[in-house]
Chain A
Amino acid sequence: MLLVVYHLQSRSRPIPSSQVAALPAMAAAAQRLLAASTKIVGVGRNYVAHAKELGNPVPKEPVLFLKPTSSFLHAGVATAAVEVPEPLESLHHEVELAVVISRRARDVPEASAMDFVGGYALALDMTARDLQSVAKSTGLPWTLAKAQDTFTPISAVVPKSAVPNPDDLELWLKVDDELRQKGPTSDMIFKVPFLISYISSIMTLMEGDVILTGTPEGVGPVRIGQKIKAGITGLIEAEFDVQRRSRTFSP
């Protein structure tokens, strides 16, 4: 069972998690999409204010990076926990609209791109900011900063039909109930159809693949022991604890 507050735009009240099983078949189908995911494609610097807050130039083309599916942390009944690896004391939170691809997409024109969207989710692109800074200054990949287990917390998938306009959503994130990030997806520099077209011209997108479409300003550290709540206003929200990662080898 998923702990999800799920609000179809045609309803006036959120649907309690106990009724998730009674949701239309398309909601279940949207969930199954994520299970088929083969990759996560992150889009960096896709909100102007966020690019500026990190001192980065505003890009002419999307900045893409990969996160592995092993980094997914699915929101659930028991609060899922983001794991901070030693010797780090914190990670940066980045609240994002995630787009879930519905079927194989290659060289998709912008005009057809929305046909390849299966659903949306609320995701966090957790980032070890110091490690990322070191990687940037030494010309190295962003792997250590972005790809670790639990670095992609993600909510249940909302079917595309529940979101008439992905450019008209509000993302928010709180740490220990203090608002840290809040921004409209209308501030996205490269919009969803362009991203699908651009990315699919570089690599084939598969059913279930996730595009993280960028984060608004307000990124900052969340420390071990704190709690993240985040969501898309009126649509979905999710909650994650932040804990120290303990290493466990189980053969």
Chain B
Amino acid sequence: FVSPKLRKKNQSSTVATLPAMAAAAAQRLLASSTKIVGAGRNYISHAKDLGNPVLKEPVLFLKPTSSFLHAGPTAGPIEVPEPLESLHHEVELAVVISRRARDVPEASAMDFVGGYALALDMSSNDLQSASKSAGLPWTLGKVQDTFTPISAVVPKSAIANPYDLELWLKVDGELRQKGLTSDMIFKIPFLISYISSIMTLMEGDVILTGTPPDGVGPVRVGQKINAGITDLIDVEFDVERRKRSFSY
């Protein structure tokens, strides 16, 4: 077990000092992922009035595994497709499922957690607004390649209390988002129970548990994102223009 006070610039070297078996097993989980389930509007806002009604149930959306962008020394950039000039960043705690979960009661839900990660739910606000007003799916605004940057997976044993974490995100060194997971509205056991009552969760499936809404904003081509869970994980991603390339 590694002291939570340990800090490293490169998150992958932090993970490597955790007990080897647990860390390697957690990483393999992500490789078998079959889907990403996002929970929208899942944080209390401390701003005056964002105008969104209080939800009775989580808002669920899907992102494909093709949208993953894995952090690391050889990671590519977040790609902004033409004609967009920016994307919105949303820093989130990701939960990685350890085994098949269907109709899981809340009381047993944490048995199905294999690990956690720091993820960004990159979104195109323009595309998403257009979709919402037309009553269309959120797809184009959320599912594109590189729209789910994600850190290495931290084994469940490394996080005693997932509601005692601080999420943060900077753009070009300027702090944009900072929030506490204690502000999560629908907590992890409820999310696992609710989602697994709608669709079977498989080993490696990822739940994006929402973002602190204050500070969500645009990041432009040419900028750099740093983000993390304080004292646990750090990630860094460049934001670049997507170049289209057809390769056999």
Contacts and interface: CB of A to CB of B under 8 A. Distances in A.
Q: Do A and B bind each other?
A: yes
Interface of A: 38-39, 44, 63-71, 85, 106-109, 112, 135-137, 139-144, 147-149, 201-206, 247-251
B135 interface: yes
SS class, residues of chain B in contact with chain A: loop
A64 to B, nearest CB: 5
B161 interface: no
B245 A66 contact: no
A106 B34 contact: no
A69 B34 contact: yes
B244 A70 contact: no
Given A38-B34, A106-B247, A202-B144, A249 B64 contact: no
B84 interface: no
B140 A38 contact: no
B246 A108 contact: yes
Interface of B: 34-35, 40, 59-67, 81, 102-105, 108, 111, 131-133, 135-140, 143-145, 197-202, 244-247
A116 to B, nearest CB: 10
A248 B197 CA distance: 9
B199 A71 contact: yes
A85 B198 CA distance: 9
Nearest to B53: A138
A73 B208 CA distance: 26
A250 B62 contact: no
B148 to A, nearest CB: 11
A143 B197 CA distance: 13
Contacts of B104: 249, 251
B198 A65 contact: no
A contact face: mostly helix, strand, loop, or mixed: loop
Contacts of A251: 104, 108, 111
A13 to B, nearest CB: 38
Nearest to A57: B134
A82 to B, nearest CB: 14
Contact of A66 (B136, B143, B201, B202): B143
Given A38-B34, A65-B137, A148-B198, A107 B245 contact: yes
A249 B59 contact: no
Given A38-B64, A109-B246, A64 B137 contact: yes
Contact of A68 (B62, B105, B197): B62
B199 A149 contact: yes
Listed residue (B102, B103, B105, B135) with the most chain A CB atoms within 10 angstroms of its CB: B135
A201 B135 contact: no
Contacts of A39: 35, 64-66
A247 B197 contact: yes
Nearest to B33: A38
B5 to A, nearest CB: 36
Nearest to B112: A251
Contact of B200 (A64, A70, A202): A70
Contacts of B63: 66
